[in-house]
Amino acid sequence: MTKPVPRNDIESQWMPFTANRQFKAAPRMIVSAQGMHYTSHDGRRILDGTAGLWCCNAGHAHPKIVAAVREQVGRLDYAPGFQMGHPLAFEAAARVAGMLPGDLDRVFFTNSGSESVDTALKIALAYHRVRGDAARTRLIGRERGYHGVGFGGISVGGISNNRKLFGALLPGVDHLPHTHDLDHNAFTRGQPKWGAHLADVLERIVQLHDPSTIAAVIVEPMAGSTGVLVPPLGYLERLRAICDRYGILLIFDEVITGFGRLGSSFAAEHFGVLPDMVTLAKGLTNATIPMGAVGVREGIYQAFMGGPAEAIELPHGYTYSGHPVAAAAALAAMDVYEQEELFGRAAELAPYFEDAAHALRERQHVIDVRNIGLVAGIELTPRPGEPTKRAYETFVKCYERGVLIRTTGDTIALSPPLIINKTEIDLLFGTLGEVLDTVH
């Protein structure tokens, strides 16, 4: 027998990363979206300052992506992806490979950033093993890193709140120090000059455990979720050099930085540092349909291809890997990015966005502004004894005034769709500035 459920029940859903009781007491519901705007349940237009959750890079409900999804769901809703294929998954993979720099030429599909991270970590471990280097089992992440919520991702991740409830996690994981330092880098525009030496800690970690035991290092080239940490000049280059010296794979988690966020296709291209794998999701489909991917360098793929041709080389995959409707959304999103030159547009707007962000320096509570591409982090001094409250109240007040921002700790993170215009940039930062003057 089914239980009677009231039609407007909002108790049943256990919401993700949400203060459930607080939200349910005063819900903020989104009912539709178009371009740069959401519509709230009470009929207000909300300027999207965060591209959803860093993912709707081409804006909402783009007609070409919507049409591609509609068409595909009627033509082929689903096809199995194990020992079977369908054309769009291959087409989408070739398209992603074509966009990725260097010889990141092989693409494995997942359904989310978390799955992409776990997939990349598993490929790294398996790669060493199939090469006969089976002692390489250690994974190195970084403090304050966010790599989703799978056990692999929280193990290499460095946000203690996301780890502490969940037991012992993966064994054999170590962490680099994070690169956040207000004494040296407050109010830096773009990449900070101070901090490249923090990459050298990798050398010490490698020596501590012995190079022969380390499988991979994973970092976000620009750390998003923890509050926008832009890599210091030379930092990623040093990580690459140390990994090269010791045969360690370098994984860039580009779930946020992929598909134009920094004004380039990928952070790897932006910073001129080629990782061995990249993890992708979010902007891959403009978030229209969930999809993630791992881009892998040719040599890694080939290392798996030595056994008998009838053997499954990588016993890994998801029911929905390369899902036809997601693949259609990805192809359409990549068409839109290219046809509308959105990555170039983001690069062109970045200086204007930077000036608007740094104008907030004069507002009360602001202890740092940092930015790169169409990303800005505005760090507030925490209210004594009540960390995160000031930022949360700023978020709620901005929402009431028709602007969606995102907060993490006491940092406000802004990452609008790449279609934003200058008037909307002014409104975004203008509203935030006014609200900052009203929160105590």
**Residue 69's CB: how many other CB atoms inside 10 A?**
18
Q: What are phi and psi of 82, to 5 degrees?
A: -100, 125
- Residue 69 is inside which H or E element, if any? helix 63-75
In the complex, the smallest distance separating the C-beta of residue 150 from ligand PXG, rounded to whole angstroms, is 8
Q: Can you state the percent helix, strand and coil of the chain, rounding each to 5?
A: 40, 20, 40
Nearer to ligand PXG, 216 or 303 (CB): 216
Would you say the C-alpha torsion 409, 142, 260, 97 has a positive or negative sign? negative
In the complex, the smallest distance separating the C-beta of residue 49 from ligand PXG, rounded to whole angstroms, is 12
Nearer to ligand PXG, 40 or 407 (CB): 407
In the complex, the smallest distance separating the C-beta of residue 395 from ligand PXG, rounded to whole angstroms, is 11
Nearer to ligand PXG, 328 or 405 (CB): 405
In the complex, the smallest distance separating the C-beta of residue 408 from ligand PXG, rounded to whole angstroms, is 6
First to last CA, the chain: 52
In the complex, the smallest distance separating the C-beta of residue 74 from ligand PXG, rounded to whole angstroms, is 27
In the complex, the smallest distance separating the C-beta of residue 405 from ligand PXG, rounded to whole angstroms, is 10
In the complex, the smallest distance separating the C-beta of residue 409 from ligand PXG, rounded to whole angstroms, is 11
User: Could you list the residues that contact ligand PXG (CB under 6 A)?
Assistant: 53-54, 112-114, 117, 146-148, 220, 224-225, 253, 255-256, 281, 406, 408
Nearer to ligand PXG, 303 or 405 (CB): 405
Q: Where are any strands of DSSP class E within 214-365?
A: 214-219, 249-253, 277-280, 292-297
In the complex, the smallest distance separating the C-beta of residue 37 from ligand PXG, rounded to whole angstroms, is 19
Nearer to ligand PXG, 206 or 289 (CB): 289
**Residue 349's CB: how many other CB atoms inside 10 A?**
21
CA 178 vs. chain centroid, Å, equals: 17
How would you class 205 by CB atoms within 10 Å of its CB: exposed for 0-12, middle for 13-18, buried for 19 or more? Answer: middle
CA distance 405 to 403: 6
In the complex, the smallest distance separating the C-beta of residue 148 from ligand PXG, rounded to whole angstroms, is 3
Rounded to 10 deg, the angle between the 342-358 and 324-339 helix axes is: 70
Nearer to ligand PXG, 293 or 366 (CB): 293
Nearer to ligand PXG, 213 or 408 (CB): 408
Let me know: does 260 contact 283? Beta carbons within 8 Å. Answer: yes
In the complex, the smallest distance separating the C-beta of residue 312 from ligand PXG, rounded to whole angstroms, is 25
CA distance 327 to 323: 6
Can you tell me whether residue 344 is helix, strand or coil? helix
| Residue where the block lists tokens 């291209």 | 269
Measured from each CB, the residue nearest to ligand PXG is 113
Nearer to ligand PXG, 114 or 206 (CB): 114
CA distance 155 to 141: 8
Nearer to ligand PXG, 219 or 243 (CB): 219
Residue 347, token pair as written in the block: 């690069």
Nearer to ligand PXG, 206 or 413 (CB): 413
Strands 37-40, 403-404: parallel, antiparallel or unpaired by DSSP?
unpaired
Q: What is the DSSP letter of 177?
A: P
